[in-house]
Amino acid sequence: AQKVTQAQTEISVVEKEDVTLDCVYETRDTTYYLFWYKQPPSGELVFLIRRNSFDEQNEISGRYSWNFQKSTSSFNFTITASQVVDSAVYFCALGRGGYQKVTFGIGTKLQVIP
Amino acid sequence: DAGVIQSPRHEVTEMGQEVTLRCKPISGHNSLFWYRQTMMRGLELLIYFNNNVPIDDSGMPEDRFSAKMPNASFSTLKIQPSEPRDSAVYFCASSLVPTSGVGNEQFFGPGTRLTVL
């Protein structure tokens, strides 16, 4: 069975602080895909990143970085120097290789305080 | 390029009425997904289509829900009769699945906020 755990329900940080959102997944598949999505207060879901199970290389995109560790089944997301515009709900998701069905975590609500 | 288009953006109806939600996927995408989001249950996949064919509808709550995809550019989600517990935000998403079938990111529409009184 596929499972995604985002243990942090809500996080509050002061602007310019760094923050890490945790994501732990469970799967029996050897090929799988991990995703992060952002849902700002306006409600739309915005795709941020996809990572394949065979590629453990970490990725950095501006202030965003992702740390994928198969040994701990984690795919954590760090925002450096957070800004108020980063305030949103962030979802981690897991997809199976060869299938399109994706399992979403419950989301972490991030509030960045000015 | 236009993203996923959903209509209406908001729908308020009375219990027992039929509700039809509409979705236009991104042109060229071959998979389409319907999700429901509520505070209690989070984001749930209701059904998804690949090349207009329903692949997995195990998330459809009950027979009151039905979905169709008559062509590659249009899908509907219908609730008949609607009930107050159906109140939620309904998202449509699409993706491009290569022939290898490997997973690809989904692009979401703005959602339809449904309120059933």
Beta bridge mates, A110: A11, A88
Q: How far is B93 from chain A (nearest CA, A)?
A: 9
Res. A30: pLDDT tops 90:
no
Q: Is A85 helix (H, G, I), strand (E, B) or coil?
A: helix
Confidence at residue A54, expressed as pLDDT on a 0 to 100 scale: 86
Average pLDDT, chain A: 93
Nearest-angstrom CA–CA distance, A86 and B112: 24
Nearest-angstrom CA–CA distance, B98 and B100: 5
DSSP codes of every residue in A15-43: TT--EEE--EEE-S-SSEEEEEEEE-TT-
**Beta carbons of B31 and A100 less than 8 Å apart:** yes
Calculate the dihedral angle through the C-alpha atoms of A95, B61, B5, B30, rounding to the nearest 10 degrees: 50
- B41-87 pLDDT per residue, tens: 889 999 999 999 999 898 998 899 999 999 999 999 999 999 999 99
Confidence at residue B102, expressed as pLDDT on a 0 to 100 scale: 61
Residue B109: its chain A contacts at CB < 8 A? Answer: 44
Confidence at residue B32, expressed as pLDDT on a 0 to 100 scale: 94
The candidate with the shortest Cα–Cα distance to B57, out of B37, B32, B74, B80, is B32
Residue A62: pLDDT band with limits 50, 70, 90: very high
- Residues of B with a Cβ under 8 Å from any A Cβ are 31, 33, 42-43, 45, 48, 50, 55-56, 89, 91, 93, 95, 97, 101-111, 113
